[in-house]
Structure 1
């Protein structure tokens, strides 16, 4: 029999991701609509979006060109298979994205999320070496406090212990570099921390126990978002690139968060002038309007697969909804908005104001560190000793006062849509200060 209960009366049916359900059910936070910089909650309150939804709504909510593109394509081509088939918008979306990626990363494989993009990138890296006659290269190196989604591959390479501990043994062929967070030398850094390039040298130290000829790839986020906004030290990414080149190891950048303007450039690879071999993306690719992810690979990787009989499937991998026509329409429309409104350039221009606003909290109660780059900031809060964590109190109180933030561990993450105005930046950080002033 059909369940006719209202969503309010049947909330127990929903199992939310990354949520403390028993705590949530005591006072649910429910969003019912959105426009521009604001959500509206179930009580009718406007909520300033301080974290671009979930790091993804870079152009602001319910943007008319994106909404209309989705509507048109859903009415024209609701679904098209991409196994041995294609449709026009798949070609167009891939071309538009490859025009933004670093030179040479011209081949785009579509999926549906950052998690799928991470697992896809790992499979491509391992399969490429096999196709290149180096089947012994099967190990992947990740990093402590790294986040590459929740697929088995990405979880194995990721280094956030709380995400891993419930799921038993993961993939065996994964090793981890140390994270780069060094508050003893870099606390309250503005932009890239000055100290820590030597953390990249830990890759060569791994070679004592892991023969470099067995390593397929190193996978890192240029800037770690979910681990609490960990900014790469000056020169760190370039050093990783040099070591990978020296030993024939592929370098994978997870740009799911850093892509599409978050740091004031198309991608972190562009901003830091370090070209990876493979790059993952999602979130801002469609402004969060439709699920989509993608993997960009350099020419030599793609052509490395193009061997053997012409009727052979070179990469036996994909998803039912890869390059979904409605998602492709959303991606193209999103890229048009970014271009027409020059939102990446706008983010770069706003970054100094945003940085000053973030660091104005340096003397606020309980603040132990502040990190920032582009339009993203992490405010590290001392843990507290109550049953309910201090960081949760700040997050929940801010929402009740009309500002949406993210909390990860003991870090408040602020990463608003790129359309934010200066007065809205002020409001976010003034709200945080006011709450900290009254939080034990």
Structure 2
């Protein structure tokens, strides 16, 4: 096949306006600590930890060395009926970070795979305990659970569902918790909205508890615009799920590994689910990897209660990949040795004050924060939703700051090694540029 002259043509980019990007590409050439370097040699402050994932900063030497060393010793080791020590070591380390009793770990390769795995485990558990009629899965509006058909089915992003449909039947959705009228410019968790969890009782009454296997929610929804859980909301979900025998799954692909000031959002917010999904910060994004933490009760029902042989017919070629496991262990070491979870908690007050200093800036209709996360919601242009935030995204990048936008919402989630000066630079830059956006 003849090669094209255009070096950008072959790569069909994910979640990207490909025609617009390739007409005016913005390329990254390297990264270190808090900054990317653009292809034209400019330093770009990373306000998004890549994609919510580089929590310890870029190209950290201990992680790089762990990957390099492992690649020279064992490039791949299967975990189907065999295993290698690094996978067990990482699982043990990870289990110790999870809230009790979530001490059984299943490895995947991404957040999407972690979600599909969690849904399968929930279904297997209900079947193992003699509740095979429990096949219905409950998600939430404006929820993002990856791009597998399971995640799309329980997710609540209209464009994903509209374009591809869903393969899972028996899915329902809770209402989202975002209430701009009641909670605009709240610092931290909003007071209003705990009652929205009670809609699960309506769904139970509609379908019958005996048909519902699991509820899956993000403790804090990130990709759909930084939607902060109202006080009491997650506690109410937990109580309803427990009472009706429903598995509660927290999708912590974004919130795990320090983003909210602790190992998990479950720890920080004081609500323990039955299953937690993870990815992103698990390896500091250096090697793709995901994981699912499962309660001992669920694990034992499936593994100890099943017949001889394979208990769960599920897995991936790269589950527990040696390079990923090495990166995960090195990442957990960095988080511990540098106190990055505690650092995030300590900086959260300064971060909150800085973010809310944008109140009154042009186009800003809401500001939201939790841990080291912020959502800056802009008023949409008439008939051109999302255009104003995308223009701000381009202006920020061109002047040395990487942000993320979803519709007209700017999301910030920088690496946890940031200093106060970085916070000042991010918020100051955004504040200045908002005045230049029509």
- Measured against the shorter chain, the TM-score band is over 0.9
Greater CA deviation, 163-172 or 248-257? 163-172
Measured against aligned partners, the alpha-carbon deviations of 1:351-394 in whole angstroms (never above 9, x if no partner) come to 00011110000110000000000000000001113767101000
Partner of 1:86: 83
Partner of 1:245: 242
CA distance in structure 1 between the aligned counterparts of 2:71 and 2:166, rounded to whole angstroms: 42
CA distance in structure 2 between the aligned counterparts of 1:311 and 1:185, rounded to whole angstroms: 55
Partner of 2:410: 412
Q: Does 1:15 align with 2:8?
A: no
Q: Does 1:50 align with 2:50?
A: no
Q: Does 1:190 align with 2:187?
A: yes
How far has the Cα of 1:268 moved from its partner?
Answer: 0.4
Report the CA distance shift for 1:158/1:169 in structure 2 as closer, same or farther (over 3 A). Answer: closer
SS in 1 for 2:98: coil
In the alignment, structure 2 segments of 5+ residues that lack a partner are none
SS in 2 for 1:105: coil
Superposition TM-score, scaled by structure 1 size: 0.97
Q: Which structure 1 residue ranges, 4+ long, deviate > 6 Å from structure 2? A: none
1:154 to 122, 138, 151: 151
SS in 2 for 1:159: coil
2:370 to 346, 370, 373: 373
Q: Does 1:350 align with 2:347?
A: yes
Partner of 1:75: 72
Partner of 1:364: 361
Greater CA deviation, 421-430 or 105-114? 421-430
Measured against aligned partners, the alpha-carbon deviations of 1:411-435 in whole angstroms (never above 9, x if no partner) come to 1000000001111111111111111
Q: CA contact under 8 A between 2:128 and 2:306: conserved in structure 1?
A: no
How far has the Cα of 1:128 moved from its partner?
Answer: 0.9
Partner of 1:181: 178
1:283 to 280, 284, 291: 280
Matches within 5 A, 1:264-303: 264-303=261-300
What is the RMSD computed on CA atoms of the aligned residues? 1.3
How far has the Cα of 1:255 moved from its partner?
Answer: 0.4
Partner of 1:432: 430
How far has the Cα of 1:22 moved from its partner?
Answer: 1.2
Matches within 5 A, 1:3-42: 3=3, 9-42=6-39
Greater CA deviation, 292-301 or 202-211? 202-211
CA distance in structure 2 between the aligned counterparts of 1:47 and 1:326, rounded to whole angstroms: 28
Superposition TM-score, scaled by structure 2 size: 0.98
Size of the alignment, in residue pairs?
Answer: 437
CA distance in structure 2 between the aligned counterparts of 1:21 and 1:54, rounded to whole angstroms: 18
Measured against aligned partners, the alpha-carbon deviations of 1:127-177 in whole angstroms (never above 9, x if no partner) come to 111111111000010000000000000110000102211113431211000
In the alignment, structure 1 segments of 5+ residues that lack a partner are none
How far has the Cα of 1:438 moved from its partner?
Answer: 1.1
Q: CA contact under 8 A between 2:367 and 2:376: conserved in structure 1?
A: yes
CA distance in structure 1 between the aligned counterparts of 2:305 and 2:416, rounded to whole angstroms: 46
